[in-house]
Amino acid sequence: TSIAMVFLNKYLLDSPSLRLDAPLFVTFFQCALTAALCLGLSLGAACGAPCAGLPTLRLDPKVSRSVLPLSAVFIGMVTSNNLCLKHVGVAFYNVGRSLTTVFNVLLSYLLLKQTTSLYALLACGVIIGGFWLGVDQEGAEGTLSWTGIFFGILASLCVSLNAIYTKKVLPVVDGSIWRLTFYNNINACVLFFPLMVLLGEFRTLYHFDKLGSPSFWGVMTLGGVFGFAIGYVTGLQIKFTSPLTHNVSGTAKACAQTVLAVIYFEETKSFLWWTSNLMVLGGSFAYTWVKGLEMRKVQEDPNVKSGERNETGV
């Protein structure tokens, strides 16, 4: 689902045949469709349809205001993700926004005063090394976009902040991921409007020659459906396996996505370019593995201090 959405978004954001320079509108449409699907499935569940686990959704202005800080971070995350994808190739996209784990460690220390083990820090060092090697190799091949790198770093930061704010805001929606998704996307749609006006995207849409094309709206709708589905399948995977399994499979997904992109776009990459990808993927896997072992140790040792228990659980 995630791989399909990345390729679809790359087409919508940077296709020479489409020529649509409105990344905020693409993101806005996907948020609006996600909110609509959440509401539609909730109504279906209320009518007896097989939509297990979906609570009744209604818009409460008080809850919406409480979720607003998370929504601001969420907008930064999805927008910077898409802008990074717009300016870099799909093959480099994983490396371009690979610093999420590093920001997780940094923000956990700065905001939550939680330390990280030496082995986890070494894994972060491998990720940083892979990131810089990837940037160097993109420059050597003449395909480097510093704009894309900037938005990739910003996306990594926003993903980390999004996780922290999600934990803080979940109690407001009674711990329901579906309610949080609904409010988050409703708020995002409202906040996107002034941004689209400010950046002149409505003018761009007015002059867009495929605005009445059914195939264009078909791809837009498909992208929105995949965006909604990511939240659903992620929740299912974590529910039936574990967060560790989810992170490991995410690393495997990034590897498959990179190989598919190189094959699909018929690109030729150097040995060092592939080395940078392997360093990022290997460092991410190592970090996940180390944190998994630390969490298991905490669960098995009843004498571990509560502060250590909290640290390894993040």
What is the tens place of the pLDDT at every residue in 141-195? 888 899 999 999 999 999 888 888 888 888 898 888 888 889 999 999 999 999 9
3-class DSSP assignment, residue 144: coil
240 and 8 in contact (C-beta within 8 Å)? Answer: no
4-13, 140-149, 202-211, 224-233: least confidently modelled range: 224-233
277 and 95 in contact (C-beta within 8 Å)? Answer: yes
pLDDT at 76 over 90: yes
pLDDT digits over 242-289, tens only?
Answer: 666 777 787 788 888 999 999 998 888 999 999 999 999 999 889 988
pLDDT digits over 242-252, tens only?
Answer: 666 777 787 78
Predicted confidence at residue 149, as pLDDT, reads 94
Upper half-sphere CA count for residue 76 (Cβ side, 13 Å)? 19
pTM score, whole prediction: 0.85
The fraction of the chain above a pLDDT of 70, given in percent, is 91
Largest interatomic CA distance in the chain: 66
Residue 78 has φ and ψ, to the nearest 5°, of -70, -35
Residue type, 238: I
Residues 60-70 have a mean pLDDT of 91
166 and 183 in contact (C-beta within 8 Å)? Answer: no
Buried b (16+ CB within 10 A) or exposed e, 229-249: bebbeeeeeeeeeeebeebbe
Predicted confidence at residue 27, as pLDDT, reads 93
Sign of the alpha-carbon dihedral angle for 92, 96, 99, 103: negative
Using CA atoms of 274, 275, 276, 277 in order, give the dihedral in degrees to the nearest 10. Answer: 50
DSSP state of 172: G
133 and 281 in contact (C-beta within 8 Å)? Answer: no
Sign of the alpha-carbon dihedral angle for 263, 266, 271, 277: negative
Reference 43, options 145, 182, 147, 167; nearest CA is 182
Confidence bin at 313 (pLDDT 50/70/90): very low
| DSSP H stretches of helix in the chain | 2-14, 23-46, 61-87, 90-96, 100-112, 118-140, 146-169, 177-198, 201-206, 214-240, 243-264, 271-300, 306-312
**Rounded Cα gap, residues 76 and 74, in angstroms:** 5
pLDDT at 218 over 90: yes
298 and 308 in contact (C-beta within 8 Å)? Answer: yes
Averaged pLDDT score across all residues of the chain: 86
Angle (deg, nearest 10), helices 61-87 and 23-46: 140
**Rounded Cα gap, residues 110 and 161, in angstroms:** 12
Confidence bin at 58 (pLDDT 50/70/90): confident
